[in-house]
Structure 1
């Protein structure tokens, strides 16, 4: 009921008051929109000098500077990592089933023989 009364009152007041554009009307927005600038601020270069590390980020790479093969990724290392990863996954799967797997690595604090138990209790 309050909504109906408020609408009726605003309609009656709009009849007796001079026309004023609403907040979302084109006239209101056009009056409040700033005028476009005469010049484009991005047309001029930046007034302060750009640091070298920022300039290096946006400088395109030259073909002579980029090696086609990365020197730190060697095929021999990749093959060894695949085998090591396979062994680690096998050890994790067996551990999930409750079985011990004689998994060891270079520099491990325990040898491979620590997993073999010959004594039964």
Structure 2
């Protein structure tokens, strides 16, 4: 109990002395400087950069050109098939078998030789 009474008296005296005789700062401990709080990291908005992709009109032009190329390729393929069919028809009219072979076919051009 003596300890708590002495502690209370000492605290009161210390408070009174600090009010009457403020500290000059010569013997005080240096104040602990805390590091400043870091600034919050705000992610960069993707809209702050210029638009790098093609515009709607440019994209439409690219797709239109691609469709045109595909259309031309399909037309060329169909034209080759039609020419081949006409050639086969001409050979058939002359009585000659047309040696239609393709890579990996089960028969070769020798199978079409005419044996008279």
Asked if these proteins are the same fold (TM beyond 0.5), I'd say no
Query: Which entry has the higher C-alpha Rg, 1 or 2?
Result: 2
TM-score (norm 1): 0.31
Report the structure, 1 or 2, having the larger helix content: 2
